[in-house]
A and B are shown apart, each in its own frame.
Chain A
Amino acid sequence: MLLFLQSLLNGILLGGIYASYSAGFSLIFGVMGVINLFHGEMVMLGAFLTYWIFTLFHIDPFLTVPLSFFSLFIFGYLIQRFVINRVVEAPPTNSYILTFGIHLIVAYAALWIWTADFRTVTTSYSGMNANMGGIIIPYARLVTFVLALIVVAGLYFLLYRTEIGRAIQATAQDKEIARLMGVNIRQIFAITFGIGAAITGIAGSLISTYFIIFPQMGLSYTIVAFCVVVLGGMGYIPGVLYGGLILGVVQSLTATYLNAGLSGALTFILLFIMLVLRPAGILGRGIVE
C-alpha cells in the first residue's frame, strides 16, 4: 500500500514537472498555430544557464530563475520575430520543419560547446525530503510542482486580466479582425513566443536541480511536452495540468509495477493512441485544426 502511494505521489510530482515545461508549448500553438519542435531546447538552455551560473559563481539555482526568465524571453522573442514569423502564415508543416531545423542547430551547437557530459546541479539541499508517514516528498520536485500551478495561474491572469493578454487572445481567435482593431500582430506573436520560451526556461532552471542535464536532452522533453499537450488539449492551457498528471502517474505506476524501460515506450504509445483516437484531448477542449 505504501509502495502504491509513494508511486502515485511520485507520479503526481512528475506530472507537475511535465506540466511546468509544457505550458509554453501549448501557449505557442494555441496562439500562433506553430508546433515548436525546438521547445525542449528552451528547457535545456534554461537548465544550462542555471548550471553555469551555479558552477561559476555559486549562485543558488532558485535565484537564477528571473535571469532565466528574461534571457529566454529575449531568445524566444528574437527567433520568432526574425525567423519563424515568415512561416506563420504558411501551412503548419513549414513551421514544423523549420523549428526542427532550429532544434538541430541549437542542440548540436550546445553539444559542441559544452560537450556531451552529463551534469547536475547539486546544492546543499538537493537531497532533502519531507517525510509524511513513510512517504517521501523531495522538496525540489515539490517546488517545481508548485511552480507549475503558478505558471498556469499566471498565464490565466495574463490572458484574461491584462491588456496584452486580451490582445493575445484576440489574435489567437481571429488574426484579421485583431489586425483591423489595431493590434500589431507581429509584436503579439513575438511576445507570445517570448513568454512561452520564458516560462519553459524557468522550468528548465529548476529541473537542473534534480534531473541530469545534457545538451541533447531537448528532444525527449519536446516529445513529452507534445504528449502532455495532446492529452490535455492543444492550446488549452489548464489542460497541461491534466495531461501532465495523467502521463506522470501512468509512467510512475508502470515503472514501479512493470518495468522501468516500458514506461518510456508508454509515452509514445499513449501519444500515438491519443492522436489517432482523440486528438482533441481527454477533455475534448483542444484545437484540432
Chain B
Amino acid sequence: MLKKSSPLILILITIGLLFVPFGGFSEYFVRLLAVIFLWIGKAGCWNIISGYTGYIDFGAVGYYGIGSYVTALLMSKGNAPFLVSILVSGLVSALIALPIGLPTLRLRGAYFGIATLAFAEAMKQIILEFDKTAGVNFFEGPHGITLPIGPKNEFFYYIGFAVMVVVIGIAYWIKRSKLGYALRAIHEAEQAAELSGVDTLRSKVKAYMISAFFLGLIGGIEAYWLTYITPHMVFDVLITIQMVVMSLLGGIGTVFGPVVGASFLTILYELLHRDFPYTYTIIVGFIIVVIVLLMPKGIVGTLTPAGRREP
C-alpha cells in the first residue's frame, strides 16, 4: 500500500467524482455510480456495527425500511421537504434502534443475528398488517406508498456521494476514536474489555444506533428515488445480505472494505441480473462460502499487513 501518496490519490478521486455528471457520461453511468455510492453507504453502516464488533446483524434492512416509510409518509401525506424527511427518518430509526439494541446486544453472536433477523421480518409483517389492524387507509396497492416525483439522477448522484463520504468518514473517525478501540476490544475479547473498563453494552448500542440512523436516512433517500415503495421492496432480507457480503468481500471491519465490496458487487449485479437473475445470488452465495473458508479478512483486510493500522 502506498503510504504517503494514498491520501492524495483519494482526494483526487473524490474531487474527480464530483465532476462526473458534467463530463458528458451517459445517464446510465451516472445512475450506476449513484447506486454504487448508496450501496457503499449501506454496507458502510452495516460494517460500523457488525464489522467492528463482530456481532453479525441480520436485520439491518429493518432500519432501512423504517426510514423509507417515514420519508414516504412525511413527503406524500405531510408535504414535508426532502432533507427534513430524511433526517427525521434517520432519527426515528436511531430511536427505534435503542430499545431493540439494548436487549439484543446482550446476546451471543449467533443469537443476536437471528434476533435481529426476527426484528426485521416482524417490522415487515407489522407494516403489512398495519392498515387492517390500525384501520388506517393510506396505502395504495399492496401496502405501497407513492412519493412525489423527484428530480433527475444527478440530484441523487450528489446526495449519494455526500452520504457515502459521510458514512465512510464516520467509519474512519470511529476507528481511531475511543469508541473504535472499545469496539475492537469487544470483538477480540469482550469480557476482558469489560474488565478493562469498557462499557461494552453502551459502546455496542452507540455503534448500533449510528448505523441505524444512516440506514434510515438512506432508506428515505432511496424511497424518494424509487417513488413507489412496498414492504416487500424495502424490508427485503436480500438487502441485508448485500450489505453483509459487500463488507465480507471487501474486508469486514476495515474502513474501505465496503467501498471495494460494494463497487465490485454492484457492477456484478448490473452485468448479471437482467439476463441471469438468479445467477447473481448464487455467485453471492459462493463468494460468502469462499470468503469464510479461505479469505476471512476480505480483500482489503488481506492486503493490509498485520499489526499495521489500516486507514
A→B interface (CB under 8 Å): 35, 83, 86-87, 91-94, 96-98, 100-106, 108-109, 111-112, 219, 223, 226-227, 230, 259, 261-262, 264-265, 268-269, 271-272, 275-276, 279, 288-289
* CB–CB A104/B118 < 8 A: no
Cβ–Cβ contact B281 & A108, under 8 A: yes
Whether A279 touches B107, Cβ cut-off 8 Å, given contacts A109-B282, A261-B128, is yes
Please determine whether B125 and A265 come into contact, CB atoms closer than 8 angstroms. yes
| Residue B148 is within 8 A (CB to CB) of chain A in the complex | no
Nearest neighbor of B56 in chain A, beta-carbon distance: A93
B145 within 8 A of A: no
Q: Check A101–B292 contact: CB distance below 8 A.
A: yes
Chain A residue with the shortest CB-CB distance to B50: A93
A223 with B118: CB separation less than 8 A: yes
Q: Of the candidates B104, B110, B125, B282, which one forms a contact with A112 in the assembled complex, judged by CB atoms under 8 Å apart?
A: B282
- Whether A262 pairs with B115 at a CB distance below 8 angstroms is no
**Interface pair B293/A112, CB less than 8 Å apart:** no
Given contacts A87-B293, A112-B278, A276-B104, contact A268 B119 (CB under 8 A): yes
B125 to chain A, nearest CB (A): 3
Given A94-B296, A261-B125, A268-B118, residue A109 in contact with residue B278 (CB < 8 A): yes
1/0 per position for B227-266, CB-CB distance to A under 8 A? 0000000000100010010001000000000000000000
| Chain A residues within 8 Å of B144, by CB | none
Considering the complex of A and B, which 7 residue pairs feature the smallest CB-CB distances, nearest first? A101-B288, A104-B285, A265-B125, A105-B285, A268-B122, A276-B103, A268-B118
Expressed in whole angstroms, the Cα–Cα distance for A82 and B286 within the complex equals 15
Question: How many Å lie between the Cα of A112 and that of B54 in the bound state?
Answer: 33
B133 in contact (CB, < 8 A)? yes
Contact call A226/B110, Cβ cutoff below 8 A: no
Residue B117 at the chain A interface, CB threshold 8 Å: yes
Known: A97-B244, A108-B281, A275-B114. A262 touches B104 (CB 8 A): no
Q: Which residues of A contact B244 (CB under 8 A)?
A: 97
A288 and B126 CA atoms in complex are apart in Å by 29
Please give me the residue from chain A that is nearest to B248 by CB atom.
A97
Whether A275 pairs with B115 at a CB distance below 8 angstroms is yes
Q: Does B129 contact A (CB under 8 A)?
A: yes
The CB with the most chain A CB atoms within 10 A, among B133, B237, B285, B286, is that of B285
Known: A94-B292, A105-B282, A105-B286. A276 touches B119 (CB 8 A): no
Is B82 interfacial (CB 8 A cutoff)? Answer: no
Cross-chain contact B278 with A259 (CB below 8 angstroms): no
Give 18 CB contacts A-B under 8 Å.
A93-B109, A93-B110, A97-B244, A101-B289, A102-B289, A105-B282, A105-B285, A106-B285, A108-B279, A108-B285, A223-B114, A223-B117, A259-B129, A271-B114, A272-B104, A276-B115, A279-B111, A288-B111
| Cα–Cα distance between A269 and B129 once the two chains are bound (Å) | 14
Contacts of B104 in A (CB 8 A): 272, 275-276
Q: Are B293 and A83 in contact (CB under 8 A)?
A: yes
For A92, the chain B residues whose CB sits under 8 A away are: 108-110
CA distance A259 to B128 in the complex (A): 12
Asked whether, in the complex, the Cβ of B296 is within 8 Å of the Cβ of A111, the reply is: no
User: Contact flags (1/0) for B94-129 with A, using CB distance below 8 Å?
Assistant: 000000000110111111011101110110011011
Check if B274 is an interface residue, CB within 8 A of chain A: no
Distance between A81 CB and nearest chain B CB, rounded to angstroms: 14
Is B168 an interface residue, CB under 8 A from the partner?
A: no
Which of A94, A101, A108, A269 is the most central at the interface, judged by chain B CB atoms within 10 Å of its CB? Answer: A101
Of all chain A residues, which has the CB nearest B125?
A: A265
Chain A residues contacting B218 (CB-CB under 8 Å) are none
User: Which B residues lie within 8 Å of A93 (CB)?
Assistant: 54, 56, 109-110, 113
Residues of B within 8 A of A104 (CB): 241, 281-282, 284-285, 288
A227 CA to B8 CA, complexed, in Å: 51
With a cutoff of 8 Å between Cβ atoms, the chain B residues found around residue A227 in the complex are: 118
Q: List A contacts of B292 (CB < 8 A).
A: 87, 94, 97-98, 101
List A contacts of B309 (CB < 8 A).
none
CB-CB < 8 A to B108: which residues of A?
A: 92, 288-289
Residues of A within 8 A of B248 (CB): 97
Check A105 against B103 for contact (C-beta < 8 Å): no
Q: Kindly provide the distance from the CB of A223 to the nearest chain B CB, expressed in whole angstroms.
A: 7
Query: What residue in chain A is nearest B282 (Cβ atoms)?
Result: A108
When A87-B292, A102-B285 are in contact, do A264 and B125 touch as well, CB less than 8 Å? yes
Q: Interface 1/0s, chain B 116-152, versus A by CB < 8 A? A: 0111011001101100110000000000000000000
CA distance A108 to B286 in the complex (A): 11
Nearest B residue to A91 via CB reads: B109
**Using Cβ atoms and an 8 Å threshold, which residues of chain A touch B128?**
261, 265
Known A98-B292, A105-B286, A265-B129: A271·B118 in contact at CB below 8 Å:
yes
Tell me the minimal C-beta distance from A156 to chain B in angstroms.
26
Q: Is the CB of B293 within 8 A of A98?
A: yes
Min CB gap A33→B, angstroms: 9
B55 to chain A, nearest CB (A): 8
